[in-house]
Structures are given as C-alpha cells and as structure tokens.
Structure 1
Amino acid sequence: MPPTMNRPLVGAIAVVCHRDRVILVQRGKQPSAGMWGFPGGHLELGETALQAAARELFEETGVTARPLGYLTNIDVILRDTHGAVAQQYLLAAVLCDYQQGTPQPADDAAQALWMPINEFETCGLPLLDQVAEVAHMAQARMHNR
C-alpha cells in the first residue's frame, strides 16, 4: 500500500430514490473517473455517514434530500497492476428522501442525472460495482414505506 494510505477510508453514498428513479453522477476524478455511481465521498471528522451522504449529494449535484437510514455497506478494494491494494474504502449506502433540486454536476461530478431504475440493464453507462443492486434495494425499501 502507498505510505499515505495504511488503512481503509470510510465514505458515504447518497441513494436518492424518487418516482422509481435514482440520482447518478459520473465521476470526474480518480479513482473511477468516467464511471457512474451514486453521489458520495469521505466522511469529515465528527460527521455521521447520514450527514456526509446529504452533504456530498448537495455538493455534487445541488439536490437536497433527507437521509432516512442505512441501506447496506459496500467494500471497495482497488488494486494496482501488480495486484497490491492501492486504495480501500468502506462505503455506507444511505437511503435519502428527495426534497428539492435538479441534478447539476459540481465538485467531483462530471455529469449528473436521474436514472430510471428499470433502465439499469440497458442504459449502456459504465456503472461502478453494485450500483444497480443498491438502486433496486432502495426502490424496494421506498415501496415498503
């Protein structure tokens, strides 16, 4: 591992499910530049994952949403060309209730949009691991509210 990273980092992603759509952003920076996933980022000291998800959502898209609770955790382990761990993250996927705003890319996002959940399999976008699975999980949770 690089000397600057000797332990996994903790982050949060905002899974905003509204009218059977979720907000996705295209990553503008490494890691995963060009890939599509949920808005999110690192937790700040003293911040809960729920707070971080709402903050990152607003910073990356301008959308406000109320965190409802945790959906799942996602382990992300990125390896270099030799197979050594280059970066590792534990991401808390936070289900959020849409309040207002139209997704506009800002901060680390190159693009932002509402993606219909039933189009994940045919959208042709390069998705990060588990995005479709987490979107379906959010949709089921919102329908059971």
Structure 2
Amino acid sequence: MAAPRVEVTKPGPRLGAIAVVMSDGHVLLARRRNPPDAGLWGFPGGHVEYGETALAAAARELKEETGIVATPVDYITNIDVILWDADGNPAVQYLLAVVLCEYVGGTPCPADDVEEAAWVPFDHVRRGDIPMSDRVIEVINQAIALRR
C-alpha cells in the first residue's frame, strides 16, 4: 500500500506583538540590533508563543527587551509586515498586534536584540528626529487618541 500524499505548503504568517508604552509625554522606543530594522527605533516586541495571547506576549517581550514592566490594556491596531526575496516572492510574513500598555515601573535597559532603549518625547518622534521603523508616528497618534 502506498503512503498517503501530503501536500507541501509554504510556511504561514507569523504572529508578533509590539508594546506601546507612554508616560509623561514620552514613548518608550527601542533601537533594533538585527535586520530587517537594524539601527532603527521602534516599539519593543517579538513573537507570540504558542498558547500565549498577543497581550501577554507584548508585556513579556517588553520586559525581556527593555526591562520595563507594563500592564497590557488594549489592542491599538494590527500591522502587516511582508519581506520579499530577490525574486519578488514573500520571504517572511508577520502580523503584528499593536498593544497599548500601561507603564508600571523600571528603567530602560537594552537586552535581547535591542541596542538601546529610551523614553523619547512625542515631539521628537513626530519631527522625525531619530531614524524609525515604518508607522511609528501613526501608531503613537493612534495610541494617544485611544487614551483620551
């Protein structure tokens, strides 16, 4: 008897979570060490583990990458990230759950794949004073509107 045929499929999208933490007119940002956003400032975050909610993952990744403790409050939005190979085919696809978190405590201390972590004034971000990942300004504006 022949073995059953198994259809080979491409790997599916990966789920990630990023944490948006604001305090006193500042937002916590992390400068990435590794590609694809090496050297750019963005929100701390990473992969959602199997059986973990995106809310919990955002808080966990935040603490792992920056030492900051925060409580996840609500979802802000989702961001699709698709990285293409040289032939124009999708190489990696992420769906990032953007999570608003309430600051509890801690001092930014870079760890994991973060070179630097800091509280950055909103106006510096909005002026583009630092090199940032896509959609950082848009997400901050959404977070501010959600908190009102």
Compute the TM-score of the two structures, normalised by the length of structure 2.
Answer: 0.89
CA displacement, residues 11-67 of structure 1 (integer Å, 9 cap, x when unaligned): 000000111211110111123211211000000111100000000000000000000
Runs of 4 or more above 3 Å deviation = none
Corresponding residue to 2:39 among 28, 34, 38:
34
1:119 and 2:118 are equivalent in the alignment = no
- Give matches, 1:1-145, under 5 Å: 6-142=11-147, 144=148
Following the alignment from structure 2 to structure 1, what is the Cα–Cα distance between the partners of residues 118 and 129?
Answer: 14
Moved more, 25-34 or 129-138: 25-34
Per-residue deviation, 1:127: 1.0
Following the alignment from structure 1 to structure 2, what is the Cα–Cα distance between the partners of residues 37 and 54?
Answer: 15
**Pair member with larger Rg:** 2
Following the alignment from structure 2 to structure 1, what is the Cα–Cα distance between the partners of residues 40 and 54?
Answer: 22
Unaligned runs of 5+ in 2: 1-7
Quote the sequence identity (%). Answer: 54
What SS is found at the alignment partner of 1:129? coil
RMSD across aligned C-alpha pairs, in angstroms? 1.5
Q: Which amino acid aligns with 1:24?
A: L
Unaligned runs of 5+ in 1: none
Following the alignment from structure 1 to structure 2, what is the Cα–Cα distance between the partners of residues 47 and 105?
Answer: 23
CA displacement, residues 61-80 of structure 1 (integer Å, 9 cap, x when unaligned): 00000000100000011112
Number of residue equivalences: 140
